Structure 1
């Protein structure tokens, strides 16, 4: 569905593709354990998911629905999948909370003593969840500065407003959604595309670059081969192509183009709470 067979295959430790991975696991099931524990953050993920709910989901068969989703993350060799900083928890929590409600409901339907215990457990789960939410995100949400965009992100929006409708554009990952409805835009990445406008940061790393230095190098490459800087603010630059001079390494997207597979920076994946 992604268009390139191996683009979303991030399970190198168990095999180069699904078929070989299945064969490897049948021959050596311990590969599952090795792949799920080959980074310190990985075992912390289920500990966080189940521990914050007092391990109650483990008493419900509904939790079995969670296994494919959890395995998809823990067996991955993409460090972005191991933390709770991104959206990868989104499909797990409905299953976890359904399992908790099921367990609490069963306890409540028993004798009076168990009903009091169920109420106590329910209160503890709610209190624990609220406390975790407050510590991780609630304090930020209640801080006025949280709702103000960074100087860099605000500059990206201003730069995007300077790009005319219908233009061919390469743009920073954070601002592409603001351009898709009125321009022909692709993500600015490791390969120059020779487009009319390039909206890029120069001093803040952004996906899919490895370092901010790579972005600065890209800007210098384009300025040396037919582009002109038409606007710059807060580390964001808008370049416009002024000539047909070829850019070294450029590839023009067409129907046969394939996406560039992400290479995750080395400093990603060492913290459960930070992506």
Structure 2
């Protein structure tokens, strides 16, 4: 009878997890694909990753023309795990394949977290944790910004954290080791997981994981990436130090940076009512926060983009662990109220912040109205033949990378493509300013290019 009860409990835990995963997959896929349809995805980074996966799909090492002529992407970041998308891309050669893969991976991470929460906290706790993770700002920002390799790390971390919570140490290490194939900095996270395993008593296994993580990062940063990089080095060393300038400016920059970093930490902890601080698992966020906060790149400091995706499963795992610890230590009525309060706070935080981040766009009217400019640019793009060389505005790039060789218009590696297609009405201001873009277009029209079409602010030029 006890065995049947246990199996029923595990079945309920799994069904909760997979149910939430299916729900969030639909949400993530709908949002990311719709953004692509609205010409809101970009060459940096969806186009780059599609070029890499397209290379893998044709049996070649990953090349990203957007980074430079025949640029080997393994010389930028070490992410060979993206090759696993290649078989699917070969069947469906579209940037949407990458977006669907990302939606799947991010959604699957809800399974182990919800399952663990259901077993330790019950149905209410599982619902709060599962929805909290799935609707978290870090995951929403990732879904709302193209495709990135870190989507592979998120489920690996979630399954490893569940194993840690259940003291299945070998499984935890087995799940976390593939992070070495996701990105070079994640070896530090592998080492942190190993340190936790050693701290919990499995010293040999833990120290082996620490050694593997540190050795992996060193090997990738000092040997593998430079071996592929055309310049023979690691391009991001200069991001790890501050810039010079007058003392007053440096002081102001430091204050602004400190405020952004503090804001990021507060946003990480707030979904857990700051209860995650009571779990040692929260220390597993330190490697990622350390490299981000010591970088001179301000984009790493705050809550924009995809950089916090890998932190979300850790934060919610720490939340589960902290709540479970209070259950083990005190089951009295006096301890029940704070636990309920934390779950209620987490639910309210999730509900209030959801509309502020990309998932909230699904409820906006503009998301479901394409408008005449979308139709106009699509009519222009069909005039560009397959296999052509093209320079395009950043947001137009991923509309072409599955069938053309594409660079970003205005970038140093633009060269002399056969076709140029530019959004002159709403320029992003990158990699060149709107004024520079206008001057560049004017010069091209008198220097080897003819205007094929110009409609609603979109310009299509062809080399003569």
- Structure 1 length as normaliser, TM-score? 0.71
Write the distance in 2 (CA, Å) between the matches of 1:90 and 1:150. Answer: 32
2:293 counterpart (52, 74, 77): 74
Conservation of the 8 A alpha-carbon contact between 1:202 and 1:216: yes
SS state of the match for residue 72, structure 1?
helix
Partner of 2:314: 95
Q: Identify unmatched segments of 5+ residues in structure 1.
A: 16-33, 243-275
2:240 counterpart (11, 14, 31): 11
1:145 counterpart (351, 363, 366): 366
Conservation of the 8 A alpha-carbon contact between 1:14 and 1:35: no
Pair 1:164–1:129, CA change in 2 (3 A):
same
Conservation of the 8 A alpha-carbon contact between 1:36 and 1:75: no
Partner of 1:18: none
Pair 1:63–1:78, CA change in 2 (3 A):
same
Root-mean-square deviation (Å): 2.8
SS state of the match for residue 302, structure 2?
coil
Pair 1:216–1:154, CA change in 2 (3 A):
farther
SS state of the match for residue 386, structure 2?
coil
> 1:35 offset after TM fit, Å?
6.4
Write the distance in 2 (CA, Å) between the matches of 1:7 and 1:149. Answer: 39
Write the distance in 2 (CA, Å) between the matches of 1:79 and 1:152. Answer: 33
Write the distance in 1 (CA, Å) between the matches of 2:289 and 2:372. Answer: 36
Q: Deviations over 1:203-242 (max 9, x none)?
A: 3233632422222122112112100111122322111001
> 1:169 offset after TM fit, Å?
1.1
Write the distance in 2 (CA, Å) between the matches of 1:208 and 1:162. Answer: 25
Q: Identify unmatched segments of 5+ residues in structure 2.
A: 1-74, 77-228, 245-252
Query: How do 1:171-186 residues align onto structure 2 when only pairs under 5 Å count?
Result: 171-186=392-407
Write the distance in 2 (CA, Å) between the matches of 1:156 and 1:6. Answer: 38
Write the distance in 1 (CA, Å) between the matches of 2:292 and 2:432. Answer: 22
Partner of 2:278: 59
Conservation of the 8 A alpha-carbon contact between 1:203 and 1:212: no
Conservation of the 8 A alpha-carbon contact between 1:160 and 1:175: no
Write the distance in 2 (CA, Å) between the matches of 1:181 and 1:118. Answer: 50
Write the distance in 1 (CA, Å) between the matches of 2:360 and 2:418. Answer: 43
Matched, 1:128 2:349: yes
Write the distance in 1 (CA, Å) between the matches of 2:376 and 2:430. Answer: 19
Conservation of the 8 A alpha-carbon contact between 1:196 and 1:241: yes
Conservation of the 8 A alpha-carbon contact between 1:201 and 1:215: no
> 1:140 offset after TM fit, Å?
3.4
SS state of the match for residue 242, structure 2?
helix
Pair 1:91–1:153, CA change in 2 (3 A):
farther
Matched, 1:43 2:262: yes
Matched, 1:107 2:326: yes
Write the distance in 2 (CA, Å) between the matches of 1:74 and 1:36. Answer: 13
Pair 1:118–1:75, CA change in 2 (3 A):
same
Write the distance in 2 (CA, Å) between the matches of 1:189 and 1:71. Answer: 34
Conservation of the 8 A alpha-carbon contact between 1:179 and 1:185: yes
SS state of the match for residue 174, structure 1?
coil
In terms of fraction of residues, the more helix-rich structure is: 2
Matched, 1:200 2:429: no
> 1:152 offset after TM fit, Å?
5.4
Partner of 1:165: 386
Aligned residues: 225
> 1:14 offset after TM fit, Å?
8.0
